Amino acid sequence: MMSALNQAQTVRVAIVGASGYSGEELVRLLLGHPAVKLTAVTSRQYAGQPLTQVFPRFAALPKARDISFVEPAVEHLAREADIVFLALPHGVAAEFAQPLLAAGRRVIDLSADFRLRDAAVYKDFYGHDHPAPQLLAQAVYALPEVYREAIRGAQLIACPGCYPTSILLPLIPLLRAGLVSPQGIIANSLSGVSGAGRKAELDYLFCECNESVRAYGIPKHRHLSEIEQELSLAAGQPVTIQFTPHLIPVNRGILTTLYLTPTTSAQGAEAAAALNRRVAECYAQAYAHEPFVRRLEGKALPDTKHVTGTNFLDLAWRVDPRTGRLLVISAEDNLVKGASGQAVQAMNIACGFPETTGLF
């Protein structure tokens, strides 16, 4: 497929914050991308050290051998790259986005800084004023399966969070089709420890996480802000959901279960079967031609081990004829489809590359 990409189509790419988990995953994906030249990776901690010394897993890749970490200087990034990925904490990413955009560079932000359309909502959920509210109207929420056309040619691309991706992709088509009520939605999600980022905090030490499962961030996890924003747009009315994230003792992966109320009765075998058919038709219409959303058939249910290291989101559903509820389950890799892979997918769309380039 990529034989048509010639040298003239190669883009220069930099990663700010390349030493974190999402940054490392970006390095992996972009080193293998045939239309990308990775020209700069930044880390204050590792500045001056060769990439292959910090991440020996890349030592066999020729494209990695001449790359060393550098300090995150905007002037250097603007000079060396056409596209800059920001794998930084919220609040910090905007400090780089503003001057890079002013320099004419395309910015793909993996933080939460540009996901929300309302600066007041950002302050409510993140606890401080938005650092660049004037850029919010320019930012494109880069959920490719929903906003593909808006991503094309966008200069400021805001990548969705990992939990939101696992909830929005299963739920948006159902709300748009009017198959489920926007009231009473419950989402339970379980995430691997890498979702907390590469940091030395007591809660994420091995002995604290291993052989342990716990809820956290309730009742107002920060990702609720973008989840409810996008669900409200899909439903055409304000949507408030109950969301409970859990930390589980695996490295990576998210499994989400949604508990939904159908807009028509699904109690009893006949009504449940009818709803099941409508849901199947809805998902087929939404995702039959999407390269990274897999609808599981038969008795199969999503399992994180089948998506780890990939850009796929797997989903399945069951109608419970006893309760009349619709259960939808999704699985994704929080570092790939939930972060870096989705960012590369958005880059492919924005640059006009085949969408699956460098991904699987």
Q: Mark whether 162 is an active-site residue.
A: yes
Q: Copy the structure tokens of residue 324.
A: 């009349």
Cα(345)–Cα(175) distance, integer angstroms:
25
Q: What count of Cα atoms within 13 Å lies in the side-chain half-sphere of residue 107?
A: 31
Q: Evaluate the CA torsion angle 159, 164, 167, 168 in order and state its sign.
A: negative
Instruction: Provide the token pair at 44.
Output: 């204050």
Give how far the C-alpha of residue 285 lies from the chain's centroid of Cα atoms, to the nearest Å: 22
Strands 106-109 and 69-70: unpaired
- Please state, in angstroms and rounded to a whole number, the distance separating the CA atoms of residues 279 and 176: 12
Cis amide prior to 219 (ω within 30 degrees): yes
Under a CB-based contact definition with an 8 Å cutoff, are residues 338 and 166 in contact? yes
Q: Which of 162, 209, 282, 351 is catalytic?
A: 162
Catalytic center residues: 162
